[in-house]
Amino acid sequence: MSDDRRDLSHELPRTPVSEATVAARRGKLTVATISLCGCWGCNLSTLDLDERLLPLLDLVTITRSSFTDLKRIAGRCDVGLVEGGVANEENIETLRHFREHCDVLVSVGACALWGGIPSLRNSIGLDECLATAYLDSPTAVPGDRPTIPLHPEIPRLTDRVRPCHEVVHMDYFLPGCPPSNDAVFAVLDAVAHGRPIDLPTSLTHYD
Amino acid sequence: MSITVTVDGVPVTVEEGATVADAATAAGAYVPTLCFHEDHPALGTCRVCAARLDGRVVAACSAEVHDGAEVEVAADDLATMRRQVVGLLFAEGNHVCPSCEKSGRCDLQAVAAETGMLTSEFPYRYPGRETDPGDARIWLARDRCILCQRCVDLVRDDEGRPVFTLTGRGPDTRVELDHATAAGLSDEQVAAAVDLCPVGAILRKGVGYDEPIGARRFDVASVRERALRGERR
């Protein structure tokens, strides 16, 4: 990576948070979410909490979320929710940053737990996948030299898509594709009230 | 003849010849079984139903109890064993539940959830396994096969010939489908073979996702509820 990059989302100028907001947040639990290699469906399950989100926000502050696409956490965070598996160098970097800055890190959804749909490429091999996508693609521009994209600003793909817990230690696992809004609520509610996360079988499903 | 055994310290009366799993069910204790099918003799291939009989770990589906036997099913170490055996099956194959049409009626998926498996404790292998799409009605998706051998031991045509066989050894073991014999099966026999497969390895072509989410086998009643009322398949 070059040193002169200036336009990463967490480096952009931001409006300072007012003292009133800082005071209101004091004592609340901080939660951060991130989407790695996934489809964002698990975040939609969080949005599906609908009106249940509002009382939760009296106890929890979401310091950064996939909705803002900020990749870095400012300061310490109590809980990190990670959606998606690890499929490129940027995913590894972001996941390690989350591990360093979060007390409790939760794998959310099939991709984070075992690679999910993106891991279908694992049994095929990266070379063959890239060749099919770029070299032998039926939609390639006729006459153009077939090229696999390679640029310092494009994260390099890992040879295999990996579960998060094969890269860093994960504390809890929430299966599902996506986990239901009830399952996401159960996790956030347990965390907000200081209970251990222990999902009933009725909320555990892999599809 | 009736005999008396204890299951986790609770005395129960069962018929002679009952298995550890039968005794557990009689005591209202759940021990998950995977390869066992109530209409057929026990196969004992998957080892998911680990329980303790007189201090020794056995497969609950096939080990018979005797008068005065002490059975344990709920101990933490046994629960861990069962969860790890299931986790090995998940790590060994390619079990893509989100896109599998057997989801919601898959024994492996249902049993794994009951053992408390959230993700496999073992590194996923993502093996490259060949599927056999060559048959007119049966799609053999080996990615999901757990080598339980239900199809190998139990699926026969009208003349008693096997339709599925095992080839290879060790990690190269795989199920083969005999296309000539399969062609002689009635549609009902094909449907029975699909239903017999505890995972989504044997599928009927041209049907697909025919049961909506919420109406699938284990959506309606969990594998635990079914086992506790004596339905094991």
| Contact list, A113 vs chain B (CB under 8 Å) | 118-119
How many CB atoms are located within 10 Å of the residue B194 CB? 19
pLDDT (average), residues A184-203 = 90
Higher pLDDT, A204 or A68: A204
In angstroms, the CA A84 to CA A100 distance is: 18
A197 reaches B (C-beta below 8 A)? no
| Contact list, B129 vs chain A (CB under 8 Å) | 123
pLDDT of residue A1: 45
What one-letter code names the amino acid at B5?
V
| Contact list, B89 vs chain A (CB under 8 Å) | none
Q: How far is B74 from chain A (nearest CA, A)?
A: 16
Nearest CB to B123; choose among A166, A174, A177: A166
Residue B187 tokens read as 């549609």
Q: What is the pLDDT of residues A149-183, one digit of tens each?
A: 999 889 999 999 999 999 999 999 999 999 999 99
Cβ proximity of B154 and B175 under 8 Å: no
pLDDT of residue B48: 97
- Kindly indicate the confidence band of residue B41, based on its pLDDT and cuts at 50, 70 and 90: very high
- The SS3 call for residue A98 is helix
Q: How far is A175 from chain B (nearest CA, A)?
A: 6
In angstroms, the CA B68 to CA B86 distance is: 30
Put simply, the answer to whether B119 touches A113 (Cβ < 8 Å) is yes
pLDDT above 70 covers a percentage of chain B that reads: 100
Q: What is the pLDDT of residues A80-93, one digit of tens each?
A: 999 999 999 999 99
Cβ proximity of A67 and A199 under 8 Å: no
Residue A64 tokens read as 């950064």
ipTM summary value: 0.90
| Contact list, A124 vs chain B (CB under 8 Å) | 128
What are the contacts of A3-9 at 24+ separation with CB within 8 A? A5/A153, A8/A71, A9/A68, A9/A69, A9/A70, A9/A71
pLDDT above 90 covers a percentage of chain B that reads: 94
In angstroms, the CA B128 to CA B124 distance is: 12
Enter the pTM of the model: 0.93
- Kindly indicate the confidence band of residue A191, based on its pLDDT and cuts at 50, 70 and 90: confident
Q: How far is B120 from chain A (nearest CA, A)?
A: 8
Q: How far is B131 from chain A (nearest CA, A)?
A: 13
Is B99-220 the same fold as B2-87? Answer: no
In angstroms, the CA B30 to CA B226 distance is: 10
pLDDT at A3 over 80: no
Put simply, the answer to whether B119 touches A174 (Cβ < 8 Å) is no
Minimum Cα–Cα distance from A116: chain B residue? B96
Put simply, the answer to whether A173 touches B129 (Cβ < 8 Å) is no
Nearest CB to A113; choose among B94, B100, B118: B118
pLDDT of residue B219: 93
Q: What is the pLDDT of residues B67-79, one digit of tens each?
A: 999 999 999 999 9
**Domain residue extents for chain B:** 2-87, 99-220
A174 reaches B (C-beta below 8 A)? yes
pLDDT of residue A6: 57
Mean of the per-residue pLDDT values of chain A: 90
pLDDT at A117 over 70: yes
pLDDT of residue B193: 97
Q: What is the pLDDT of residues B5-35, one digit of tens each?
A: 999 999 999 999 999 999 999 999 999 999 9
Q: Taking chain A, what is the end-to-end CA distance rounded to the nearest angstrom?
A: 38
**Residue in the block written with tokens 């209409």:** B39
CATH of domain B2-87: 3.10.20.740
* Nearest partner of B146 among B197, B180, B98, B100, judged by Cα: B197
Kindly state the helix (H) or strand (E) to which residue B87 belongs, with its residue range.
Answer: helix B76-92
Domains, chain A, ordered by start: 28-120+159-203 (3.40.50.700)
What one-letter code names the amino acid at A28?
K
Nearest CB to B109; choose among A116, A119, A206: A206
How many CA atoms, within 13 angstroms, populate the side-chain half-sphere of residue B204?
Answer: 17
Cβ proximity of A77 and A133 under 8 Å: no
pLDDT of residue B64: 97
CATH for B99-220 (3.30.70.20, 3.30.70.100, 3.40.50.2300, 3.40.50.1820): 3.30.70.20
Residue A152 tokens read as 């310092």
pLDDT (average), residues B206-225 = 92
Nearest CB to B126; choose among A107, A123, A202: A123
pLDDT of residue A162: 97
| Contact list, B99 vs chain A (CB under 8 Å) | 117
Backbone conformation region of residue B44, classed left if phi is above 0, alpha if psi is from -120 to 50, else beta: left
* Nearest partner of A42 among A112, A122, A93, judged by Cα: A112
Minimum Cα–Cα distance from B143: chain A residue? A123
pLDDT (average), residues B96-124 = 96
Put simply, the answer to whether A110 touches B104 (Cβ < 8 Å) is no
